[in-house]
Every structure is written in structure tokens, then in C-alpha cells.
């Protein structure tokens, strides 16, 4: 019996060492994302590298502290990934909220998901929010399109990006103003934009959906082109919202924050995933974001419930 326990502890100790080595390597490689776009893809999974480092320490303790290098590698994983996440978590703790005053705008942002498995619940929840604007992604076909169609009675005005099957849409209660002659450059993901007349003056809403940040994707082009497009609008009153498929601890999104020149109001708001292969998962990636110009103050930012999409919806209230 003693020999069996000895072997099990050795195996657990080996597993702890391997786990710590993998997550430490991933965390350190992610730090190189500040220089290399392809390695920046690793930054998005910083929560996994951090939890992996903590998990390696637990296994190391269970194994009777076998392996002198395990806690060293685990510490590297925790420090490298934690340092990526820390600025966003600190900003979330310091985020200011304003009391509603004058004009208040409620926005629902939701990747409705073309394979949405609960359209009825998604539609019912959106309608129950009684928002002013609904920004939807992946509504170019299939179940996502059904979600958009079934909220049309309450939000009769729809603005989509060009293309018959473009999947980004802005749904509104009121008719947008006639668009000024601004042509957006192609390559900024799928982008819809509309201009509205508010109580305090006109404002522009831009809905976006970026590609996945895999090393071979075009997300780098989405970001750079979108940053140029934003400069075409009145930056004091513009609102940019959508599924950016990018986490705030990535160097890519940090550069985007700088290049947009407007404040991101969603801070460490974990919005993906809801479930995978029928298994409910805790959200661990903040992929859905809202930016707003300085005319707007943030009243509240909340994550909605898990519906039929792989993304959680986001509910934002702004005031000016």
C-alpha cells in the first residue's frame, strides 16, 4: 500500500511539474505579444495560465512537495499572467459611475449567434430590457437572423453594414438621421453605423464584430482600419460597441484603446463562453466592449444572463 501511494505521489509530482512548465512558458511567451502579434494571441488566455500555476502548486503540495522547480515555474506563470491582467482589474475597481441626468441611453449589445439554441428566450429577454438601442452580431443568417427579425416590432429601424449577409446590425426605436457622406474603409470587421438625434444633440453609434484573434486571422487589420474609421466621427459623442473578440489584457486591445482615443467603459466584464458542447462553463474571457466619447458618462455596465448564444449579452446605460 505504501509503495502504491509513493508511486501516485511521484506521478502527481510529475504532473505538477509538467503543468507548471507549460503555463509558465505560455505566460512568458504571452509577454512577447507586445512585440509580436502572433504571440499576442496567448495573452487572451492569461486567466488559464494563472489558474494553471495555482493548480500546479496544489498538485505539488498533494505530492508532498516533490520537485524543487515546480513552485518556481508556477510562480513565473502566476506573475507573468497576473501582470497582464492586473491593469484591467485595477481599472475595473476604480471605474466611476454617474447618476442619470438629462439624456440617458440604454444599450443592449449581444452576439445573437447564428447557432443560437434558444431563440425564444433570447428574444423575450431583449424585449424585456426595454432598451433604446440593440446592437446585434451574427444576425446574417440562421437563428441569429431570427432573433433580429422577432424584435423588429419594438425596434423597427435596422441599420446594417453593406452586404446581403452582413451579420452586424443596429436596431432602434426611432429612425436614424440621414447619414452624412462618410465612407468607411473596408477591412474593419463587419461594421454598422447610424446617427441619431438626441436631446443634447446628435450622436453616432458604431456596431462592430471582429474576427477571431488566431495567429493567421485578419484581426490586426480589423483593429487598424477601425481605428482610422473612428477618426471620421465626432469623437466626443460617438459610441462604439460590439464583439471585438479580444481581451483587455491583450496588447492588441491596449493599442486599440490608445488608437481609438475614446474611453472603454466595459472593464473586466467576462462575456464568453456560456457553454461548450452542452456543458455550462464560467465565463473567463471579456470579449464584448463599449467605448464612448467624453460627452457620455457611465451609469451602469452589467452582464446579462446566459441565453442561447455562446456570448453573454451586455447592458450599458450612459447619460449626458
What pLDDT is recorded for position 216? 66
Q: Is 183 exposed, middle or buried (0-12, 13-18, 19+ CB in 10 A)?
A: exposed
Residues of the chain with pLDDT under 50: none
Q: According to the CATH classification, is domain 104-319 in 3.40.50.360?
A: no
Beta-strand relationship, 275-276 and 169-172? unpaired
Q: Is 123 exposed, middle or buried (0-12, 13-18, 19+ CB in 10 A)?
A: buried
HSE of 48, CA atoms in CB hemisphere, 13 A: 15
What pLDDT is recorded for position 270? 97
Rounded to whole angstroms, the Cα distance separating 180 from 212 reads 31
**Residue 166: CB partners within 8 Å, gap ≥ 6?**
140, 160, 190, 192
What pLDDT is recorded for position 125? 98
Segments making up each domain of the chain, as ranges: 2-94, 104-319
What pLDDT is recorded for position 1? 66
Is the alpha carbon torsion for 44, 32, 37, 214 positive or negative?
negative
Q: What would the pLDDT profile of 249-277 be if each residue is shown by its tens digit?
A: 999 999 999 999 999 999 999 999 998 77
What pLDDT is recorded for position 180? 79
What pLDDT is recorded for position 137? 97
Contact 150, 136 (CB under 8 A): no
Amino acid at each position: 500500500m505504501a509503495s502504491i501511494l509513493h508511486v501516485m505521489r511521484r506521478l502527481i509530482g510529475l504532473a505538477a511539474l509538467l503543468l507548471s512548465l507549460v503555463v509558465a512558458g505560455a505566460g512568458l511567451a504571452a509577454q512577447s505579444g507586445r512585440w509580436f502579434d502572433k504571440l499576442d494571441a496567448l495573452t487572451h488566455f492569461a486567466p488559464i495560465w494563472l489558474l494553471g500555476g495555482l493548480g500546479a502548486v496544489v498538485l505539488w503540495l498533494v505530492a508532498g512537495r516533490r520537485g524543487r522547480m515546480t513552485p518556481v515555474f508556477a510562480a513565473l506563470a502566476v506573475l507573468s499572467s497576473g501582470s497582464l491582467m492586473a491593469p484591467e482589474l485595477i481599472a475595473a475597481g476604480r471605474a466611476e459611475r454617474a447618476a442619470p441626468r438629462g439624456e440617458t441611453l440604454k444599450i443592449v449589445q449581444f452576439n445573437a449567434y447564428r447557432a443560437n439554441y434558444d431563440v425564444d428566450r433570447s428574444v423575450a429577454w431583449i424585449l424585456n430590457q426595454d432598451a433604446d438601442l440593440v446592437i446585434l452580431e451574427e444576425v446574417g443568417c440562421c437563428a441569429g437572423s431570427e432573433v433580429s427579425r422577432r424584435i423588429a416590432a419594438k425596434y423597427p429601424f435596422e441599420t446594417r453594414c453593406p452586404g446581403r449577409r452582413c451579420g452586424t446590425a443596429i436596431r432602434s426605436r426611432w429612425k436614424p438621421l440621414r447619414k452624412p457622406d462618410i465612407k468607411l474603409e473596408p477591412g474593419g470587421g463587419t461594421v454598422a453605423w447610424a446617427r441619431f438625434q438626441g436631446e443634447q444633440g446628435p450622436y453616432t453609434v458604431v456596431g462592430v464584430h471582429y474576427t477571431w484573434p488566431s495567429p493567421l486571422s485578419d484581426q490586426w487589420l480589423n483593429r487598424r482600419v477601425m481605428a482610422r474609421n473612428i477618426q471620421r466621427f465626432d469623437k466626443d459623442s460617438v459610441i462604439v460597441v460590439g464583439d471585438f473578440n479580444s481581451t483587455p489584457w491583450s496588447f492588441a486591445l491596449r493599442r486599440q484603446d490608445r488608437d481609438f482615443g475614446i474611453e472603454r467603459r466595459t472593464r473586466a466584464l467576462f462575456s464568453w463562453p456560456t457553454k461548450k458542447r452542452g456543458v455550462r462553463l464560467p465565463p473567463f474571457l471579456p470579449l464584448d466592449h463599449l467605448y464612448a466619447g467624453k460627452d457620455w458618462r457611465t451609469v451602469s455596465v452589467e452582464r446579462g444572463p446566459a441565453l442561447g448564444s455562446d456570448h453573454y449579452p451586455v447592458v450599458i446605460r450612459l447619460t449626458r
